[in-house]
Amino acid sequence: MGYELRVVRESPLAFAELAKAIAPAGFELRGSEEIVAGHAGGTHAVARWQGQLVGEPGSDWQVAQLLRLSTALGGRLVGEDGEEYLLNEGVIEVSAAGGVVEIGKFEEIIDAGPAAWSP
């Protein structure tokens, strides 16, 4: 199991609400628990439903998609260690322990696609 990011909301998200909310944002439900997004004619896993949305990103593209998904659902994207992922003037940032680290420009990351991080 990899590092998990979770979509956190003030009020719990029901599965029926999830199914209605993701389609207008460009996501699809595959099976009963996997949320996917398209890129270059294919679909790629972004998150899974476990009573809440959880993702284990393997690329900046997946982080960007999780951030987009959390925004579409009116939530926040939070990591296991409590850090929060934000979009600030088109740049994805991670805020943790009083500091902010930039990941990169949202649109460039989305355009680059889901290429996995190198070990």
Q: Looking at residue 92, what is its pLDDT?
A: 96
Structure tokens at 107: 């649109």
Alpha carbon distances (Å) from 19 to 24, 25, 45, 64, 92: 10, 11, 15, 20, 26
Q: Looking at residue 47, what is its pLDDT?
A: 94
Q: Looking at residue 102, what is its pLDDT?
A: 94
Considering the entire predicted model, what is its pTM? 0.91
Give the mean pLDDT per block of 10 residues along the chain (119 residues): 84 82 89 88 90 91 94 93 94 92 94 77
Q: Looking at residue 87, what is its pLDDT?
A: 94
**DSSP alpha helices (H): ranges in the chain?**
15-22, 60-72, 106-112
In the sheet with 99-105, reading across from the earlier edge strand, the strands are 27-30, 34-39, 42-49, 53-55, 5-8, 76-79, 84-88, 91-96, 99-105
Q: Looking at residue 109, what is its pLDDT?
A: 93
What does the CA dihedral 103, 105, 44, 32 come to, rounded to 10 degrees? 80
